[in-house]
Amino acid sequence: MPDKVRERYERIGRRRVIGLLGIGIVLLAIAIIAGIVTLGSISEDTDQVERVMERQASIDSLSTFNEQIAAGQRGFLLQPDPDFARIVREASADYETEQARLDDLLVDGGQIQKLEQLRRLNAERTVLVDAMFADPATAFLEARNLDFSDDRGVLITQEIREVARSMSDFEAEELGRRNQAQLGSLVQFYIVGGVATLLLLGVLVTAVLVVLRYNRELAQAQISLREANVGLEEAVQKRTGELLRANEEIQRFAYIVSHDLRSPLVNVLGFTSELDEARKTIRDHLTELYESKPELRNEEVWLAVDEDLPEALDFIRTSTEKMDRLINSILELSRQGRRKLQPEMLDMEALTSDIVTSLHQRAEDAGASIEVKAIPDLESDRIAVEQILQNLIENALKYLSPKRAGEVTVEGSKAVGTVRIDVIDNGRGIAPEDHERIFELFRRAGAQDQEGEGLGLANVRALAYRLGGIVEVESELDQGSRFRLSLPSKFVAQEALP
């Protein structure tokens, strides 16, 4: 490949990965900014709710003192007892104190006007009360002549009661509006967090697919070069070396992307925990409010705080945990891709028997048997070959058919320059249209009744390509499967190519 073409190829790979990284950073910044703005709105709504509740409590106190004054006034008219006079004076003092406090709390113009009306009525009643204490007999005769119900003091009490009720109703409506605003802010935050998580996950998956595509291109190039004649050996080595360097560059970028995405993942988890604590605080606050004032209970608000919001938090938490597993898998793939291969002569029958021995308990639990037949020796990297066979045999045990006892066979054969190792089972099988799909990253086939992230076979094929081989499958539904690993009998140190 000419130098200019190679440089262009590497630049395209870098630009794509860097572009995906940039998109992830931008999405993270947007999510953080939106979260900060929404949290500010939630805090403001909470403060407003507390102010409304303070005003409601103050209005309720005024109503209570008003009734105490009225009760003491009636009692004194009927029996001029000093205890009734004391009740009236103490309630009047408390009324004026609470009236001054409410004056500092009110912000609505209409409410302020009503408070002024209360102040005038109370001042008028104070004059009547002072006159009553000065001449109880005259006050009693006047009240009796008016049949009490027409007494001005009684009428003032009723007017104060009506005005206070009107003010309380206004604040109750305001509390409902503030609660709805607070709920809307919380829902908005969860939506922003959920969308940001999904978008970041999409960026991560796209980055991984880019890496896998370049790995596939590299492996296909290696296979094509091995099939070329001896006269093309120099061109084969040059092409393979270029693709290996490009793949290493992609591996490095994949490692960087995975590490950088872990930071926003931690932020999302942190914000989720903070939101959960805020939700608990709001729930406790509403519980106390509804216990003290059942008439303010709003089932829609309570349902949102008690059920809807926890469900949304669980969704965000589940998504971030899945993302964490995916990041760990990607980092593991990246580490394997960067590990230096150590070729050696392998006793394949002994190596395979060791794997089968380690899986003996699992096979026994599944009611399956594993048979190892003759397998030719080869030169390759022990760790990579063990990982490939371990995964293929584990999959054979994992996807057995419930219709029959499980049987797994591992056998080998030799062709020109190649060793073939077959892992055969009588399990549930794979539909022909899924034969390539199962080797793709995050893709699975058939019933999803087994744990897994869809990374195993993708890793198997990537390792086989790196060893200069290939993995293929032959299978029909309910007819079992045959996975064939084809590796060169003599390892070629491709990573040492210039």
Q: What is the pLDDT of residues 295-306, one digit of tens each?
A: 878 888 888 878
Rounded to 5°, the CA angle 255-261-266 comes to 130
Q: How far apart are CA 152 and CA 269, in angstroms?
A: 65
Encode burial over 353-383: b for 16+ CB neighbours within 10 A, e otherwise: eebbeebeeebeebebebebeebebbebbee
Question: Do 384 and 253 belong to one domain?
Answer: no
Q: Containing domain of residue 310, as a range?
A: 1-338
Question: Do 21 and 139 belong to one domain?
Answer: yes
Q: How many domains does the chain have?
A: 2
- pLDDT for the residue numbered 225: 56
Residue 426: pLDDT band by 50, 70, 90 thresholds? very high
Question: Do 425 and 309 belong to one domain?
Answer: no
Q: Which helix (H) or strand (E) holds 149?
A: none
Residue 175 has pLDDT above 90, yes or no: no
Question: Do 129 and 253 belong to one domain?
Answer: yes
Residue 4: pLDDT band by 50, 70, 90 thresholds? very low
Q: Sign of the CA dihedral 460, 247, 492, 238?
A: positive
Q: What is the pLDDT of residues 88-132, one digit of tens each?
A: 788 888 888 888 888 888 878 788 888 888 888 888 888 878 777
Question: Do 300 and 362 belong to one domain?
Answer: no
Question: Do 247 and 349 belong to one domain?
Answer: no
Question: Do 284 and 230 belong to one domain?
Answer: yes
Q: How far apart are CA 440 and CA 334, in angstroms?
A: 16
Strand 406-415 versus strand 418-425 pairing type: antiparallel
Instruction: Show which of 278, 307, 338 is a domain's final residue.
Output: 338
Q: How far apart are CA 452 and CA 459, in angstroms?
A: 13
Question: Do 25 and 103 belong to one domain?
Answer: yes
Q: Return the beta strands (E) in 251-377 as ranges.
A: 343-346, 368-372
Question: Do 379 and 410 belong to one domain?
Answer: yes
What six digits make up the tokens of 466?
């790196």
Q: What is the pLDDT of residues 53-80, one digit of tens each?
A: 888 888 888 888 888 887 777 777 667 7
* CA trace torsion 326, 328, 334, 340 (10° rounding): -150
Question: Do 11 and 50 belong to one domain?
Answer: yes
Instruction: Show which of 317, 338, 359 is a domain's final residue.
Output: 338
Q: Sign of the CA dihedral 243, 244, 246, 247?
A: positive
What six digits make up the tokens of 347?
């006793």
Question: Do 264 and 407 belong to one domain?
Answer: no
The residue among 93, 105, 44 whose CA lies nearest residue 65 is 93
Q: For residues 139 and 78, is the Cβ–Cβ distance under 8 A?
A: no
Residue 327 dihedral angles phi and psi, to the nearest 5° = -60, -45
Residue 330 has pLDDT above 50, yes or no: yes
Q: For residues 492 and 424, is the Cβ–Cβ distance under 8 A?
A: no
- pLDDT for the residue numbered 495: 46
Question: Do 298 and 199 belong to one domain?
Answer: yes
Q: Of the ranges 229-238, 372-381, 400-409, which one carries the lowest mean pLDDT score?
A: 229-238
CATH number at residue 395: 3.30.565.10
The Cα-based distances of 223 to 23, 127, 227, 330, 436 in angstroms read: 35, 107, 6, 25, 17
Residue 350 or residue 65, greater confidence: 350
Instruction: Show which of 281, 315, 338 is a domain's final residue.
Output: 338
- pLDDT for the residue numbered 5: 42
